[in-house]
Amino acid sequence: MAKALATQPPLLYLDEVTTGLDLSVQARILDLILEIQQELGTGCAASSPVFARRLADFQTAHQLPSTGVFDQATFQTFRGLWQERRPFIMARVRDEPCPEPPPLYQLGYLVAEEEHADRLTRLLRRDVLEAYRQMVAAARAEVPEVANDRELLQIFSGFRDPEADAARCAAAGNCDGLRRAVCSPHRTGTAVDLYVGQVVGLGVDNTSPPSRLHMSRGATYRWLVKNAGRFGFVPYAFEPWHWEWVSPTGGYAGPAPTP
């Protein structure tokens, strides 16, 4: 295994050489290293023998060649696992119709200190909002960076009314499934876009590799990767700011109406 790692040309990531990463996927997954480490159960660098051993074990478990090198097939397996944890996405894979939004009584307004960019109109489903508040309280207690900067973990997108979202799609012409989703998880009131930092001059949801890498290096995002699941939130790994709440029953449907 060490020999297999040694054959890979080194690049730098957080001052570590990435000899355990196949060249064809290095540029795509450098900002996903935290999620990969979390999946493998190790904090060791991609250049380390421990990382390679854990990766080889993962490959064996998923019927891949046990090389200990992160190649395209391994990347696609991780990607599939991450997507399977998002019930909204799996419903789309099963060709289920786009869900109706929750009734208004299930939605609650954010308070001012939870709003990013001084907006006071954002909503979340009430159970999701409570989980979000518990998560933020824990992050502020456990992460000095979050405690010292109240902008971190503020919400810049929550519930989106489907009709308003459709009008925005039509006006901008960018709902192509790549830039924006035609059927967005935000319509459920369970998806949140959180401020986790930004590169100066780039937006809070900029998807360029330098932007995503910058976000993934921050203490806020690192904490989320390790701890958001405690509060029911799962990531969309390719957008560090986007998190979706999953109910204890494993779905995203809201509470049943009271008789």
pLDDT digits (tens, 9 = 90+) for 114-125: 999 877 689 999
Inter-CA distances, 4 with 11, 20, 68, 163, Å: 16, 8, 8, 53
Residues 109 and 236 in one domain: yes
What is residue 13's predicted lDDT score, i.e. its pLDDT?
A: 28
Whole-angstrom distance, CA of residue 112 vs CA of residue 117 = 10
Q: Residue 214 maps to which CATH number?
A: 3.30.1380.10
Would 256 be classed as within a structural domain? no
Is the pLDDT confidence value at 9 over 80? no
User: In this structure, are 134 and 229 located in the same domain?
Assistant: yes
What is the C-alpha separation between 233 and 85, in angstroms, rounded? 10
**Residues 130, 27 share a domain:** no
Averaged pLDDT, 67-88? 90
d(CA 168, CA 207): 20
The stretch 162-167 carries a mean pLDDT of: 81
d(CA 185, CA 90): 11
Is there a domain that residue 216 lies in? yes
* Same-domain status, 123 and 73: no
| Residues 74 and 141 occupy one common structural domain | no
Residue 96 lies in a domain: no
Q: Are residues 165 and 221 in the same domain?
A: yes
Instruction: Taking residues 143-151, report their average pLDDT.
Output: 97
Domain assignment present for residue 170? The answer is yes
Tell me which residue has tokens 């459920």.
188
Task: State mean pLDDT over 47-63.
Answer: 94
Spatial contact of 205 and 241, defined as CB atoms under 8 Å apart: yes
pLDDT confidence of residue 178: 52
Picking from 84, 118, 140, the residue at the C-terminal end of a domain is 84
**Domain count within the chain:** 2
User: Pick from 53, 84, 115: which residue ends a domain?
Assistant: 84
- SS3 of the chain: CHHHHHCCCCCEECCEECCCECHHHHHHHHHHHHHHHHHHCCCCCCCCHHHHHHHHHHHHHCCCCCCCCECHHHHHHHHHHHHHCCHHHHHHHCCCCCCCCCCHHHEEECCHHHEHHHCCCCEEEHHHHHHHHHHHHHHHHHCHHHHHCCCCCCEEECCCCHHHHHHHHHHHCCCCCCCCCCCCHHHHCCEEEECCCCCCCCCCCCCCHHHHHHHHHCHHHHHHHHHHHHHCEEECCCCCCEEEECCCCCCCCCCCCCC
* Whether residues 233 and 105 fall in one domain: yes
Which residues make beta-bridge pairs with 157?
193
Q: Are 210 and 199 in contact (CB under 8 A)?
A: yes
Of 130 and 174, the one with more pLDDT? 130
Same domain membership, residue 170 and residue 42: no
* Average per-residue pLDDT for the chain: 84
Q: Same structural domain for residues 231 and 138?
A: yes
Q: Quick: pLDDT tens for 17-34.
A: 334 444 445 545 567 888
Query: Are both 122 and 20 inside the same structural domain?
Result: no
- Regarding whether 230 and 126 lie in a shared domain, the answer is yes
The domain boundary residue, chosen from 58, 84, 110: 84
Residue 109: predicted pLDDT: 95
Query: Do 18 and 145 share a domain, yes or no?
Result: no
Whether the pLDDT of residue 84 is over 80: the answer is yes
pLDDT category, 180, cuts 50, 70, 90? low
Give the tokens for residue 240.
């560090």
Task: Name the residue range of residue 206's domain.
Answer: 101-245
Predicted model pTM: 0.82
pLDDT (0 to 100) of residue 135: 99
d(CA 189, CA 95) in angstroms, rounded, equals: 20
